[in-house]
Structure 1
Amino acid sequence: MYKINDLIVYGKTGVCKIMDVTIPKDNSFERDQLYYVLQPLYENSVVYTLVNTNVFMRPIISAEEAERLIDMIPKIQAEPYYNDRMQELTQHYEAAIKAYNCADLIELVMSIYAKKQIVKQQNHKFGQIDQKFMKQAEELLFGEISVALGIPLDKVQKYIASRVEEQ
């Protein structure tokens, strides 16, 4: 069980701080059930979720793990994923995101970015589904790296780029 002030990844919401662990008195909640009160770090909202929810939760990665992930970026051979069927393309991207694994998110972002570059060279339009999932993966990944390394969210992409260039 997580404690107050723990930082966790909560599903597609991303990094959240646990503000409280409580049994809400409001009738709209399940009676006598323990809830986490979460404050998403990059949204202005509060989330109440059952302690034993099915929504994915895990502690954020450490600074060392974040640095290790960044160091492995040049070694990743990300292949663009093509599928004319929007449903299958969506399922492929959702599976990578729902793994909630930073290494998978890096690979997904790199794969979609490679696809974007190829589409651009061919003077074609970059797909909305590709754009949506690249943005979602970047938000989850950069949000967690920002907290793990203690750097502002808007500086994460440049930090990663500079670290990769050093190698």
Structure 2
Amino acid sequence: MFNVGEFVLCVRGGVWKVIDVIGNEYHLQKHESEEMITVPVADSKEIVRKVTSKEQLLELIDRVGFITTIKAPNDKIRKEFYVDALNEFDEVEWVKVIKSVYLRQQDGRFMEGELEYADKAKSFLHGEISVVLGIPVREVDGYISSAVSDDKW
């Protein structure tokens, strides 16, 4: 069960704050938005987990330069890898997607729709970093860039 004031990740995208628990329903507000949703407490499919700890996120940021990209022999398999990575709801997997798309875009060889995968990964990762470190989402890219010596974003 999640408590009022906690931040959680939802399948529909991004980071949400538990505003209230009334009866068997969570009332959630999207981070840095006025958007609200109601989720049944018993619906374990919508809320994935609480946001990661500050220590884990800072360690992740330190390792960004060492996290490998996603390699695939063709676009169809690459798309499957991206979908699987996003469905893990894991910060390292999100970094892999973001780095892979960024580097493929720099090389001018990214596939149609590939940016959407990176945007979804950023929505989760940047939302978590924003909440945990107390910085606006729009400043997360800059924060990561300044924290990583070899900027691959």
TM-score per shorter chain, which class?
0.7 to 0.9
Contact 1:80–1:112, Cα closer than 8 Å, also in 2? no
- Give the letter for the 1:135 counterpart: D
Unaligned 5+ runs, structure 1:
24-33
Match of residue 128, structure 2, among 130, 138, 144:
144
Residue 134 of structure 1 is matched in structure 2 by: 118
Moved over 6 A (4+): none
- Give the equivalent residue in structure 1 for 2:27: 37
Larger Rg: 1
TM-score between the two structures when normalised by the length of structure 2: 0.87
| 2:102 paired residue among 113, 116, 129 | 113
Deviation at 1:42, TM superposition (A): 3.5
Cα distance in 1 for partners of 2:116, 2:150 equals 30
Which residue matches 1:30? none
Q: How high is the sequence identity, in percent, across the aligned residues?
A: 27
TM-score (norm 1): 0.81
In the alignment, structure 1 residue 73 sits paired with structure 2 residue 57: no
Q: Which amino acid aligns with 2:20?
A: D
Tell me the distance in 1 between the aligned counterparts of 2:72 and 2:114.
10
Among 134, 137, 142, the alignment partner of 1:158 is 142
Aligned-CA RMSD value? 2.0
TM-superposed CA distance for 1:148, in Å, is 0.9
Query: 1:12·1:140 contact (CA, 8 Å) conserved in 2?
Result: no
> What is the count of residue pairs matched by the alignment?
150
Consecutive unaligned residues of structure 2, counting only runs of 5 or more, are none
